[in-house]
Amino acid sequence: MTDRSIHDDNTGNGDDADDPTPYPDATSASDATSAVDPTPGVTATAAPPRTVEPTPDPAAVAGTDGPMDMAGRGEVDLDLHDSGFHERRVAEWARLRETCPVAWNRRHDGYWMVAGHEEVGIAARDGATFSSRYEPEPVDGIDYIGIVGVPRPKRVPKAGIAEVEGPVHLALRRAMNPFMVPRATQELEPLMRRVATWFLDQKIASGAMDLVEDFATPVPSVLTMALVGLPLGDWKRWADLFHGALAHDPAGDAARQTRANLPAMFAQLDEIARDRRANPRDDLATALITMDADGEVLSDDDVRAVLWNLIGGGLDTTASLTSLSLHHLGAHPDQRARLAAEPALLPLATEEFLRFFSVNETLSRTVTCPATLGGRHLSAGDPLVLSWASANRDAAVFDRPDEVVIDRERNPHLAFGVGPHRCIGMHIARTMFQIMVREVLDRIPDYVVDEEATAFYRPNPEVVGMVRMPVTFTPGARIGPPDPPW
Ligand code: HEM
């Protein structure tokens, strides 16, 4: 392991500090330099050699979609959007990791698939060489595709933080960080608890609920409203939009209906920017409109894009992590009983669920200049898909990678990414997850999942999550106030 990997160990040492720097971990802070001062290929070529070298064994990586040519770039022909591939993806990415951790996929005019923990980490830390930028028109002859996959799905607006690089990105992190660090998260905790209690209270007397729709989705949605400055009671239409877009067919009626609300929702965000210019407060939206973005102030459109990115980042990810973890605990009563009896284990279990489920499985980048990664030569303009999920199953880093080990001590997972774009909401996500899991284990510990009625997101390469998880349990009493916490 390199020093970096040790530093990035998610065991609560180091990266959980109440960090006033714009990046939540010191490694990322040093990466900020490379983000503004591109040194072509340096980080990539300076990588320590991987212990498992690419092996020219076509059969090992053939996949069912086509043969593999290991001669030049380790070519594969894999359709990540195919539901068959989605079902086999754990095994397919494992084969890539073992034989060719950076492989050229011929699909969609070609792109690199980055599978190994080390290679994913190198690319993610070096934003100057492996850029997150999205530019609808090519710049310097390079078509910057952004982070949302290859090919970039139509109609996805530019993410106001995640698809911005350089000094403006740095300034954004600096402005937002005070509202996301552990101290700020602690201040949100009482609201998190009230909201979690409220949603469980609504169902607990009946002995039945849907853990996704009635609990894991609404709780983070309300908290995201609070963070962004939207009325808390509006949570449902935002949840319907973001959750619906991922859970359901984007061409279906439900998705069409929620899209019809878009103009009104954009207007709500614009109103926040207008209001804070007139009435500044001590909140994140005010920090955005008053920040110095590399000598300029953000326009209302920029503020909207940042708030949109925050809502998109915050709303569904924590819901998915919570749903999938509760689903797992439903099927593993021994682990459920142990977590209920030993609440002190929850922080380690949180990191393990983050690693194992990697609810944001992959994201994309664009190569900005000739570079070397995993022994492969990459050209300027090449797209890459980084798989956090694959990195998090790398046997070179994790013992028993395909098992949920709820007391795993050393867990340098990349579920929140790493480097300059590492998840700015990670402290909020961890705390919210733990509050929700505790609420369920304390109050409905004997819940039984109706597996037949349970449904997962439609297959897609970027995110996983759940649509429905009906459960039954021994009815209990309400414990919170009769009025909603908004
Ligand atoms: C289980 C929960 C979560 C997971 C697994 C997750 C995952 C990630 C990942 C992998 C990235 C890195 C993106 C990249 O490198 O391109 C990221 C970035 C980001 N996340 Fe999260 N996230 C979670 C929760 C949250 C929450 C609760 C918020 C907001 C409250 C949030 C807001 C963001 C934002 C704004 C970024 C972009 C940061 C930047 O580009 O500088 N996320 N997240």
Closest-CA residue, ligand 1 atom 23, reads 317
> In this structure, is residue 205 part of a structural domain?
yes
Number of other residues whose CB lies within 10 A of the CB of residue 96: 27
> In this structure, is residue 486 part of a structural domain?
no
| pLDDT of res. 205 | 98
Domain residues for the domain of 190 are: 3-472
CB-based contacts of 203: which residues, under 8 Å, 6+ apart? 209, 214, 215
pLDDT band at 8 (very low <50, low <70, confident <90, very high): very low
Compute the residue count for the chain: 486
Q: Please give the distance, rounded to the nearest whole angstrom, from the Cα atom of residue 93 to the centre of ligand 1.
A: 22
* pLDDT of 434 strictly over 70: yes
Which ligand 1 atom is the nearest neighbour of the CA of 176?
Answer: 35
Report helix angle 426-443 to 300-331, nearest 10: 40
> Considering the chain, what is the average pLDDT of its residues?
86
pLDDT single digits (tens) 330-359? 999 999 999 999 999 999 999 999 999 999
User: Are 219 and 194 within 8 A, CB to CB?
Assistant: no
pLDDT band at 44 (very low <50, low <70, confident <90, very high): very low
Q: Is the CB of 317 under 6 A from ligand 1?
A: yes
Q: Is the CB of 421 under 6 A from ligand 1?
A: yes
Q: Please give the distance, rounded to the nearest whole angstrom, from the Cα atom of residue 423 to the centre of ligand 1.
A: 4
Q: Please give the distance, rounded to the nearest whole angstrom, from the Cα atom of residue 112 to the centre of ligand 1.
A: 22
Number of other residues whose CB lies within 10 A of the CB of residue 479: 12
Q: Is the CB of 313 under 6 A from ligand 1?
A: yes
In one-letter notation, the amino acid at residue 222 is V
Which ligand 1 atom is the nearest neighbour of the CA of 224?
Answer: 30
CB-based contacts of 483: which residues, under 8 Å, 6+ apart? none
**Residue 187, CB half-sphere, CA atoms under 13 Å: how many?**
10
Q: Is the CB of 123 under 6 A from ligand 1?
A: no
Domain count for the chain: 1
Q: Please give the distance, rounded to the nearest whole angstrom, from the Cα atom of residue 415 to the centre of ligand 1.
A: 9
Which ligand 1 atom is the nearest neighbour of the CA of 428?
Answer: 27
Q: Please give the distance, rounded to the nearest whole angstrom, from the Cα atom of residue 378 to the centre of ligand 1.
A: 27
CB-based contacts of 456: which residues, under 8 Å, 6+ apart? 464, 465, 466, 467
* pLDDT of 228 strictly over 60: yes
CATH number of the domain where residue 169 is located: 1.10.630.10
In one-letter notation, the amino acid at residue 361 is E
* pLDDT of 399 strictly over 90: yes
Q: Please give the distance, rounded to the nearest whole angstrom, from the Cα atom of residue 91 to the centre of ligand 1.
A: 26
Q: Is the CB of 124 under 6 A from ligand 1?
A: yes
> In this structure, is residue 201 part of a structural domain?
yes
> Where is average pLDDT lowest: 29-33, 138-142, 289-293, 327-331?
29-33
Site to probe by mutation for ligand 1, drawn from 145, 317, 361, 432 as the one with most ligand atoms within 8 Å of Cβ, is 317
Closest-CA residue, ligand 1 atom 20, reads 423
How much of the chain is helix, strand and coil, in % rounded to 5?
A: 50, 10, 40
> Where is average pLDDT lowest: 84-93, 289-298, 313-322?
289-298
| pLDDT of res. 73 | 64
Structure tokens given for 300: 């209302």
Q: Please give the distance, rounded to the nearest whole angstrom, from the Cα atom of residue 68 to the centre of ligand 1.
A: 34
401-429 burial code (b ≥16 CB/10 A, e <16): beebbbebeebbbbbbbbbbbbbbbbbbb
Return the C-alpha torsion angle 471, 472, 474, 478, nearest 10: 60
Q: Is the CB of 121 under 6 A from ligand 1?
A: no
Q: Is the CB of 318 under 6 A from ligand 1?
A: yes
Q: Is the CB of 310 under 6 A from ligand 1?
A: yes
> In this structure, is residue 308 part of a structural domain?
yes
Which ligand 1 atom is the nearest neighbour of the CA of 162?
Answer: 40
Q: Is the CB of 387 under 6 A from ligand 1?
A: no
> In this structure, is residue 234 part of a structural domain?
yes
pLDDT single digits (tens) 443-477? 999 999 999 999 999 899 999 999 999 999 999 99
* pLDDT of 6 strictly over 50: no
Site to probe by mutation for ligand 1, drawn from 355, 361, 386, 423 as the one with most ligand atoms within 8 Å of Cβ, is 423
Q: How large is the average pLDDT for residues 301-319?
A: 93
Closest-CA residue, ligand 1 atom 27, reads 314
> In this structure, is residue 485 part of a structural domain?
no
Number of other residues whose CB lies within 10 A of the CB of residue 466: 25
C-alpha span between 336 and 329 (Å, rounded): 5
| pLDDT of res. 72 | 57
pLDDT band at 438 (very low <50, low <70, confident <90, very high): very high
* pLDDT of 95 strictly over 70: yes
> In this structure, is residue 217 part of a structural domain?
yes
| pLDDT of res. 411 | 98
Q: CA nearest 115: which of 68, 65, 52, 162?
A: 52
Q: Please give the distance, rounded to the nearest whole angstrom, from the Cα atom of residue 421 to the centre of ligand 1.
A: 8
> In this structure, is residue 188 part of a structural domain?
yes
* pLDDT of 69 strictly over 70: no
Q: Is the CB of 423 under 6 A from ligand 1?
A: yes
pTM: 0.88
